[in-house]
Amino acid sequence: MGFDAAAFLMTVPDLPGVYQMIDRQANVIYVGKAKSLKKRLSSYFQKNHASVKTERLVSQVTSVEIIVTDTEKEALLLECSLIKTLKPRYNILLRDDKSYPYLVLSVGDFPSLTYQRGGKRRAGEYFGPYPDAGAAKAALNLLQKTFKLRSCEESAFKNRSRPCLQHQIGRCTAPCVGWVNVEDYQLNVSHARLFLQGKSQALIDRLASEMDSASEQLAFEKAAQLRDQITHLRRTMQQQAVVFEQAKSVDVIVLLLDQGVLCIQLMMLREGCLLGHKSIFSKFDLDFERHELLELFLVQWYLESARELPAQICIEQPLANQQHIETILTEQRGRQVKIRAQGRGLAKKWLALASHNGLQALKTHLAKNTHYQYGFTECLAELGLSEAISQIECFDVSHTMGQATVASCVVFNCDGPLKKEYRRFNIAGVKPGDDYAALADSILRRYQKITQYELDTRLLLIDGGRGQFNAVVTALNVLNLTAQVLAISKGPGRRPGLEVLHLYGGEARVLSADNAALHFLQRVRDEAHRFAIEGHRAKRGKITSVIESIAGVGPKRRKTLLHSFGGLQELKQARVEDIARIDGIGDALAQRIVQALKDKV
């Protein structure tokens, strides 16, 4: 029996609230809000629909559930919460789960300047937020080159006996070994603070005055250092020609649409400086009004993700629920948030700049998507795979002589990488260097809760040959699952373009070097390789820093210890007396090593 829209509408009140449209499989496929539930829902169930997309949505509806709220503001909040929780097919998610990055200046005589994403977890001065990691790391890179502030962890700083690589490449003054006094270091800290506060011109004026003073005192080496710092800063100011003195705390947001793709362009201004841009892309299956999309973004981006709110938000057009959204965001911030629409003067310039950058970002995104769609389609056709395959999941394993083993899984569909679906697996409990066992372990962990129906829509791509292929099939058998599995191994001389493909139930194949399917598979495989190596290096670096943070252990002793015991896992299991037998260690140092590995690894 079909959905009786007329009978249902008779029961709907003329009140604000939220509605959920449900399909035959009892899935919520759309969530919406309304000032009047009766009027909004009546607009869906008319003979002539506003668009084909709306008609497609309504044709799938078998029931509608409503929730009446006291106010439109409550309806707005509830709608956003339900979209976040249920992720309906026809709704748009205009957020990402990453928190904003900051630069953090720690406390102490020799504070560090580091990059941090997330909440304010430790003591220090926080500068930002930056719209993305690239903008924050670019500022950090400039300040390290210019003012040479340390970036190491406190444990490493307190236990070093010699300067690290950062000093050797001219990015740190080596306060860890006393090569700079507190007064000089703090002077550089004050300079970096001025830059991070957006007072670049005041900083250059101060450096110029210090340079003149150094020259008068015949301190020519110091004067040359100050000259170089001024040069670095002026070059940066020329590259970032956009400085708005009146923009103390402003986010500028524009919306662009093309070929069914939405781009929300966010431009962040803090303390008179442009911190950077962020582009958020989404596809959508319904026709939305521009003001509806902007409302969705404002609530999802700032409220649901608990991001730091600016004092002012500039948008292109007024919103139907602008006053409600201002109230919600003001309550979230604890101070007033003003939404400014159709700006004039400086605000108009900000919107134009954001629009220009958004247009460029959208063009690039669409061009990249077209490339991915062609490669994905060619891959399915070339390999004779079912069109039911909607994504490719590629696995790789990375380690150094069996130590710090990490497996990666990257996910691609016809639109490119799905980075939220990427996963890394820290491998433990398998024989060091056994790639087959490490790969099998990652497969078991990845698919232990998946259904056969879900797996039928995925192609598993493995970086390796027939051995890796068999390890994956064996692991899937343990889970009573089957899947389309493809292994891609390097050809003779490990040269790109000569790869051998191993398909389930088929012979090994070699595609021509100019084959579009091969290029797509290479791109996916290389991404899995990059992601695995990145995780491995981070894990290995953590191990290295833990060992070298032990007083009395430097690079040479670390290497000796790992070589003597065959790796970190064996070193962790060693007794104090076994470690003490190594030349130059002794009982006291062995005791510290065992305790440190127990506490930190």
Instruction: Check pLDDT > 50 for residue 238.
Output: no
Mean pLDDT, all residues of the chain: 83
The rounded distance, in Å, linking the Cα atoms of 408 and 395 is 5
User: Which residues are bridge partners to 253 per DSSP?
Assistant: 266
Q: What is the pLDDT of residue 218?
A: 78
Which of the pair, 284 or 311, is modelled with greater confidence?
311
Q: What is the pLDDT of residue 137?
A: 85
Query: Count of alpha carbons within 13 Å of 111, Cβ hemisphere only?
Result: 21
Instruction: Check pLDDT > 70 for residue 145.
Output: yes
Token representation of residue 231: 């040069």
The rounded distance, in Å, linking the Cα atoms of 226 and 212 is 9
Q: What is the pLDDT of residue 251?
A: 92
Token representation of residue 248: 């103390």
DSSP code of residue 448: T
Q: What is the pLDDT of residue 447?
A: 95
Q: What is the pLDDT of residue 233?
A: 66
Angle 237-241-244 (CA atoms, 0-180°, nearest 5)?
A: 105
Q: How confident is the model at residue 545 (pLDDT cuts 50, 70, 90)?
A: low
Give 249-364's CATH code, choosing from 3.30.420.340, 1.10.40.50, 3.90.1150.10, 3.40.640.10: 3.30.420.340
Q: In one letter, which amino acid is 69?
A: T
User: 3-state DSSP call for residue 200?
Assistant: helix
Helix 133-147 with 182-196: angle, nearest 10 deg: 150
* Minimum mean pLDDT range among 70-79, 81-90, 154-163, 553-562: 553-562
Q: What is the pLDDT of residue 46?
A: 81
pLDDT tens per residue across span 436-459: 999 999 999 999 988 898 899 999
Range 43-48 contact pairs with CB under 8 angstroms and sequence separation of 24 or more: 45/5, 45/6, 45/9
Q: What percent of the chain has pLDDT over 70?
A: 89
pLDDT tens per residue across span 49-58: 666 778 888 8
Q: How confident is the model at residue 321 (pLDDT cuts 50, 70, 90)?
A: confident
| CATH T-level assignment (fold) for domain 391-536 | Nucleotidyltransferase; domain 5 (3.30.420)
Range 493-497 contact pairs with CB under 8 angstroms and sequence separation of 24 or more: 496/522
pLDDT tens per residue across span 388-405: 889 999 999 998 777 788
Token representation of residue 443: 């497969």
- Nearest by Cα to 266 from 354, 167, 352: 354
Angle 295-296-302 (CA atoms, 0-180°, nearest 5)?
A: 90
Instruction: Check pLDDT > 90 for residue 102.
Output: no
Q: What is the pLDDT of residue 286?
A: 61
pLDDT tens per residue across span 508-527: 788 888 888 898 999 999 99
* Minimum mean pLDDT range among 197-211, 240-254, 310-324, 571-585: 240-254
Angle 532-425-550 (CA atoms, 0-180°, nearest 5)?
A: 85
Name the class of domain 5-86.
Answer: alpha beta
Rg for the chain (alpha carbons), in Å?
A: 29
DSSP 394-419: EEEEEEETTEEEEEEEEEEETTEE-G
Average pLDDT over residues 322-351: 87
Q: What is the pLDDT of residue 36?
A: 93
Q: Report the DSSP pairing between strands 273-283 and 261-270.
A: antiparallel
Token representation of residue 147: 């003012």
Q: What is the pLDDT of residue 252?
A: 93
Q: What is the pLDDT of residue 516?
A: 87
Chain-centroid distance of CA 423 in Å reads: 12
Q: Report the DSSP pairing between strands 261-270 and 249-258.
A: antiparallel
- Nearest by Cα to 386 from 450, 477, 456: 456
* Minimum mean pLDDT range among 144-148, 439-443, 477-481, 552-556: 552-556
Q: What is the pLDDT of residue 315?
A: 93
Q: What is the pLDDT of residue 406?
A: 92
Instruction: Check pLDDT > 80 for residue 308.
Output: no
pLDDT tens per residue across span 351-367: 998 999 999 999 888 88
Average pLDDT over residues 487-497: 73
Contacts of 4 (CB under 8 A, 6+ apart): none
E-state strands within 61-220:
63-68, 101-105, 113-117, 125-127
Q: Are residues 591 and 553 in contact, defined by beta-carbon separation less than 8 angstroms?
A: no
- Nearest by Cα to 96 from 419, 328, 531: 419
Instruction: Check pLDDT > 90 for residue 69.
Output: yes
Q: How confident is the model at residue 223 (pLDDT cuts 50, 70, 90)?
A: confident
Q: What is the pLDDT of residue 197?
A: 76
